[in-house]
Amino acid sequence: MKTLTVDLGDRSYPIYIGEDLLGNPELVKEFVKGQQVLIVTNTTVAPLYLEKCQQAFAGFQVDSVILQDGEQYKTLEELNKIFDKLIGNHFDRKCTLVALGGGVIGDMTGFAAAAYQRGVNFIQIPTTLLSQVDSSVGGKTGVNHPLGKNMIGAFHQPQCVVIDTKTLDTLEDRQLSAGLAEVIKYGLIGDYPFFEWLEDNLPRLLAREPEALSEAIERSCANKARIVALDEKEAGMRALFNLGHTFGHAIEAGMGYGAWLHGEGVSAGTMQAVYMSKLMGNISQAEQDRIQAIFELAKLPVLPPSSAEMSDGKYLDLMAGDKKVQNGTIRLVLLKTIGEAYVTGDYSHDFLTKTLAEYRP
C-alpha to C-alpha distance for 152 and 175, rounded to whole angstroms:
24
Average pLDDT over residues 341-360: 95
Q: Is the pLDDT of residue 327 over 80?
A: no
Closest CA to 103 of 54, 69, 80: 69
pLDDT recorded at residue 235: 85
pLDDT one-digit tens code per residue, 189-232: 999 999 999 999 999 999 999 999 999 999 999 999 999 999 99
Q: Is the pLDDT of residue 323 over 80?
A: no
Q: Is the pLDDT of residue 279 over 90?
A: yes
- Least confident span in 324-328, 330-334, 340-344: 324-328
Q: Name 97's bridge partners.
A: 38, 122
pLDDT recorded at residue 61: 97
Domain ranges in the chain? 2-170, 187-358
Task: State which fold the 2-170 domain adopts.
Answer: Rossmann fold (3.40.50)
In Å, how far are 98, 123, 155, 325, 361 from 351, measured between CA atoms? 44, 42, 33, 17, 18
More confident residue, 41 or 146: 41
pLDDT one-digit tens code per residue, 5-17: 999 999 999 999 9
C-alpha to C-alpha distance for 222 and 186, rounded to whole angstroms:
10
Q: Is the pLDDT of residue 22 over 90?
A: yes
Task: State which fold the 187-358 domain adopts.
Answer: Dehydroquinate synthase-like, alpha domain (1.20.1090)
pLDDT one-digit tens code per residue, 27-38: 999 999 899 999
Average pLDDT over residues 340-359: 95
pLDDT recorded at residue 107: 98
Strands 61-67 vs 96-101: parallel, antiparallel or unpaired: unpaired
C-alpha to C-alpha distance for 72 and 197, rounded to whole angstroms:
34
Q: Is the pLDDT of residue 324 over 80?
A: no
